[in-house]
Structure 1
Amino acid sequence: MGFLVYLSFYERRGNALPVDILIEKANIYYQQPLKNGLAQEIILTDLNDVKSLKDFKLIIHGFTASRFHSSIKPLKQAYLDQGKDNVLLGDWSEAAKVDYPTARKIVRKVSLTLAKILENFIKKFNIEKSEVHIIGHSLGAHIAGCIGHYFNGSLGRVTGLDPALPLFTPKSSDSLNSNSAQFVDVIHTDYPVFGDILPRGTIDFYPNYGFTGQKGCDEFDLAAASKLLFKAYSCSHNRAVLLYAESIGLPRNFPSIPCNLHGIKSRNVGICQQEIVERGLTIKSLREAIAAMDDDTVIYMGEAASKSATGIYYLETYGAPPYGLGLFTQLL
């Protein structure tokens, strides 16, 4: 019911300009690092030099947002704080202001606009496609996935942060999936309102089972508070962003355990025990691996996610930062 109210609420939004013109305004901005964690912004097509040809991060916002939105700033800042040189922000904010059904329909067109800009940049500096990592939130996750499809899955990595649920199906061709890049990791935090529970990556993480009402986020009655809908549920939807941003500076803060979709949907972590056994582990050995920070055994959610890992993973978080339980992770 949640996203139906959401659609009804946002059908009243709109923009006077033809949507194709709004899509053409989409662009990518390079964040030139300055002192004290700040950055000077340069339109990507105007960039004449890059310090390194390694590990480019392209961050893409979702519906109603922009590159200045609270769902983007934590990611950008986390990378800059780590001394990251090659941070790019994709902005399609003019088109993101239209009603949601229209925004949903133009995902492929927006991705094509941004993909062509990225392609020219890659050719200009002779960048290896495997060095490109796209991170998208909400609708931006599907745009990121479609950009990956434009490059036939050759990009190094695509990360989906709570991919949008409304008007997407498992068969939607213009959506994030495991073929979007060489490695696709997904974090789910707001099902069944704004976020999808469907596994869409090489590896999918479900903090607190991936449902809305993430720890520290208030519960709201959608039927009684539709006017507050976006505000009310942006907490769980944006939580994926905050978790990932934290992982950039604290890569071992989110150890996870293998699970399956049945265990996630039923919110029964006990079901995960079967998956643990099938992977040749025991609860005791997994506890010991987490305590020893054994990167060969432990799968971490976030920036340090193992690119050789596949499947569905569960973890708990705290309700306030630092969100990760780290060494205090609770197992079965």
Structure 2
Amino acid sequence: MKTFLILAIFALVASAYALEESERVNGENGWYVPQEDGSFEWVDMDVAEEWMEAQEKLEGRGLTTVPVNFYLYTPKNPSSSKHIYATTKSISKSNFNPAHPTRFVIHGWTQSYSASMNKDICSAWLSRGDYNVIVVDWARARSVDYATSVMAVGATGKKVAKMINFLKDNHGLNLNDVYVIGHSLGAHVAGYAGKNTNGQVHTIVGLDPALPLFSYNKPNKRLNSDDAWYVESIQTNGGTLGFLKPIGKGAFYPNGGKTQPGCGLDLTGACSHGRSTTYYAEAVKQDNFGTIKCGDYEAAVSKECGSTYSSVRMGADTNAYMVDGDFYVPVNSKAPFGMIN
């Protein structure tokens, strides 16, 4: 209740003193924050940062709770999940196998563990062989208020880290075999998970990391390239729902990273934003996204990187050992989206 009261107070302040529309630069001096109905409301950066500080104080006093659940899929139960807990009894009764690589998958705002992105990414990895795929379900993501979900990102990430640490310390999980894959707000949850593990996870994949209420200039408050041994970002709706500036050590810009072909007018950006999960699942399964190396992200956005394909494939396992920089990714308007056979 206190969280909602704080939000209400700051919303009134924001509406009273917001920057003029001509002065607004999304992500630089404020954000267009998505609403449940698909519209956006402007919030100045200083007002939003006060929200975050207020929430951190509440968390420090133990006044917030963030329910987080974990669902395990393996080759033995590829379509029927096992609800697992950070207890020896729960893990021992599940099909978790520390000899197999582990993939955590984290949804974004308004979604749950049953979201299609989780099913697609889970299916893609299990089609590759023996993996533990753990889908993270965080209930606060389903708040109709985006800001409330943002405020739960840090605590959610810490709970994911707690599960990773438990599996590592008690059940033989090898951090070198761990990927944490998150979409939108879930990408930043993955970042906080990486910041709080006892040791460094191998890879984090940020699927169009959410822009509203996250500052590029505060990497400790969002997913950044130091949160894992390798961080890859697939940026598909940059400047609206996702970041345009590069987030990962390897930053990939399908169709230039702002809008995606086949999405039509896409005024809310939801289609382009969601394409990052579709592309990633296809990349895991088919390894078919060729890339063109760019001098910087501006060249990727303006599609001025030439026409010579590099040896790098977006979403490839080998990227952790060979990728550093920004890449333009040509894509089709319908499946298969990748252009390389």
Corresponding residue for residue 194 of structure 1: 241
Corresponding residue for residue 323 of structure 1: 337
CA distance in 1, matches of 2:38, 2:254: 28
Correspondence list, 1:162-311, <5 A: 162-172=208-218, 173-212=220-259, 214-221=260-267, 229=268, 233-251=269-287, 253-259=288-294, 260-265=296-301, 267-269=302-304, 272-273=305-306, 286=308, 298-307=311-320, 308-311=322-325
- Bigger relative contact order (CA 8 A; separation at least 6): 1
Correspondence list, 1:126-165, <5 A: 126-151=172-197, 154-165=200-211
Corresponding residue for residue 58 of structure 1: 104
Offset of residue 69 of structure 1: 0.9
TM-score (norm 1): 0.78
CA distance in 1, matches of 2:266, 2:169: 48
CA distance in 2, matches of 1:55, 1:154: 15
Correspondence list, 1:118-133, <5 A: 118-133=164-179
Could you list the structure 1 runs, at least 4 aligned residues long, displaced by more than 6 angstroms after superposition. 18-22
CA distance in 2, matches of 1:75, 1:130: 20
SS in 1 for 2:265: coil
CA distance in 2, matches of 1:302, 1:102: 31
Look up the equivalent residue of 2:290 and give its one-letter code. Answer: P
Residues 8 and 87 of structure 1, relative CA distance in 2, 3 Å threshold: closer
Offset of residue 193 of structure 1: 1.7
Offset of residue 9 of structure 1: 5.0
1:72 is aligned to 2:108: no
Look up the equivalent residue of 1:168 and give its one-letter code. Answer: F
1:312 is aligned to 2:326: yes
Corresponding residue for residue 30 of structure 1: 72
Look up the equivalent residue of 1:43 and give its one-letter code. Answer: I
Using the TM superposition, name which of 26-35 and 155-164 deviates more.
Answer: 26-35
Corresponding residue for residue 32 of structure 2: 4
Consecutive unaligned residues of structure 2, counting only runs of 5 or more, are 1-23, 41-57
TM-score (norm 2): 0.76
Corresponding residue for residue 86 of structure 1: 132
Offset of residue 153 of structure 1: 6.4
SS in 2 for 1:136: strand
